[in-house]
Amino acid sequence: MDLSVAVTPLYVASMVAENKALRARAATEGPSAADYTAADTRSSLGMGVLSVTTPLTMAATALLVPRRGPKGRLGRAVLVVTAVTALVTTIADRLAARPSRDERARKRAETARRVASAGGVATVAAVVTVASATSSYVTGSRRQWIRRRHDLGRGPLAWLIALVGWDLGYYWNHRLMHEVRGLWAIHVPHHSSEHYNLSTALRQPVASAFGVWVPYGVMARLGVRPSIIETSRSLNLIYQYWIHTDTIRTLGAAETVLNTPSHHRVHHGSNQRYLDRNHAGVLILWDKLFGTFQGEQADEPAVYGLTENIESHDLWTVSTHEYRAMFRDVARSTNWRDRFGFVLRSPRWGYARRAELDAVAAAEAIASAAASA
């Protein structure tokens, strides 16, 4: 069993203890965003249960990898269909852009726009999914282990490489999840709660394995056994569980080196000052080294949640709201630069570009109304 799942009794016991402590604090200091609420806690625990299915999802999507042999046929077929869809979409874009001199031309342009909208979404979704599945397959630890030159065994060096290497890889993968909108769509459920307590740590995305682009498998290529790499992953995840709390204010000198509750509260803050900061797993040194560190400010407590909260505890909404918003933006795009930009560029770029398109659409609607008046 996955070590991070095996310690579930510890998760439950610690949440019960934290809830008791928070209730006692609320009785004297008043309620806070750290308090447990039934709806929010159910949502977090539900996401935690769903996230356990991630390995099954990855096993199924491995069929999409366009490799040699019978297992790669589906992936190759998807690429062929995607190429055709991309061609049809490109033609439809050009037809939709032609001037509509009469009613017949206008209807033809509207049909072309609908074709381009559906084709653009299908093409982008297929390309990203196949690329993610292929990256995961090619860079996976077990595949890289077969190509190793050395076996470092189970000694201190192997464990040091695995623990530090996983933490460094986690920093970059986590950072990319905040800086690439397609990856943010995967990660955003973890930030969707407006509360911050130990249950928030279990609010894990279902498709997190698709967000791994900095390969952990490189450690296997260096001779670190996959079992050690997997244990390092579990230990890293277990460590991150306890930092999702408001009951521990500071750890003194440890704050200099380790990721702590104080540092991670900043990470979950939607305050402009705190956005996209403190991506570390265990060692906060990575954020300090790569310029993404922000200390918690006594005069600015973290406001938890998203810059635009979803106001829902429904698991479907929590899991998919950003995917749906992202692909709506892809659907309304009229060129490939925007379509892939809405997925591969930053969330901030995507939201700004969406605002630009909304402004253009509003101006066109006004102009059309004025012309027909």
Hey, how many other C-beta atoms are within 10 angstroms of the C-beta on 114? Answer: 13
Lowest pLDDT segment from 53-67, 87-101, 214-228, 356-370: 53-67
Question: Which residues pair with residue 44 across a beta bridge?
Answer: none
Distance CA 173, CA 137 (A): 16
Which positions ≥6 away from 62 have C-beta within 8 Å? Answer: 71, 133, 136, 137
Question: CA 319 to CA 267: how far, in whole Å?
Answer: 20
**Crossing angle of the two packed helices 347-372 and 315-332, in degrees rounded to 10:** 60
Residue 87: φ, ψ to 5° = -65, -45
Q: Please check the confidence at residue 41 and state whether its pLDDT lies above 70.
A: yes
CA angle 297, 184, 318 (to 5 degrees): 90
pLDDT at residue 209, rounded to an integer: 73
> Could you tell me which of 124, 192, 120 has the C-alpha nearest to residue 343?
124
Q: Which residues of 92-112 are buried (b: 16+ CB within 10 A; e: fewer)?
A: bbeebeeeeeeeeeeeebeeb
Q: What confidence tens digit (pLDDT) does each residue in 230-273 have?
A: 999 999 999 999 999 999 999 999 999 999 999 999 999 999 99
Q: Encoding tokens for residue 39?
A: 């709806």
Neighbouring residues of 325: CB distance < 8 A, sequence distance ≥ 6:
none
Reported confidence tier of residue 370, pLDDT bands at 50, 70, 90: confident
State the pLDDT at residue 279. 98
Number of Cα atoms under 13 Å in the Cβ half of residue 71: 9
> Which of these, 201, 198, 183, 191, lies nearest to 308 by C-alpha position?
191
Whole-number average pLDDT of the chain: 94
Percent pLDDT > 90 in the chain is 82
pLDDT of residue 51: 87
Q: Rounded to whole angstroms, how far apart are CA atoms 59 and 209?
A: 11
Beta bridge partners of 304: 269
> What pLDDT, on the 0 to 100 scale, is given for residue 206?
84
Condensed to tens digits (0 to 9), the pLDDT of residues 168-199 reads: 999 999 999 999 999 999 999 999 999 999 99
Residue whose pair of structure tokens reads 């705190």 in the numeric block:
274
Residue among 341, 338, 343 at smallest CA distance from 322: 343
Q: What is the mean pLDDT of residues 324-347?
A: 97
Range 123-133 average pLDDT: 94
146's tokens: 């077969």
Confidence band, pLDDT 50/70/90 cuts, at residue 369: confident
Share of the chain above pLDDT 70, in %: 99
More confident residue, 301 or 71: 301
Q: Does the pLDDT value for residue 70 go beyond 90? A: no
Exposure string for 41-51, b = 16+ CB within 10 A, e = fewer: bebbbbbbebb
pLDDT at res. 60: 73
**pLDDT value at position 373?**
66
Tell me the mean pLDDT in the region 32-41. Answer: 97
Is the CB of residue 120 less than 8 Å from the CB of residue 330?
yes
Mean pLDDT of 41-45: 97
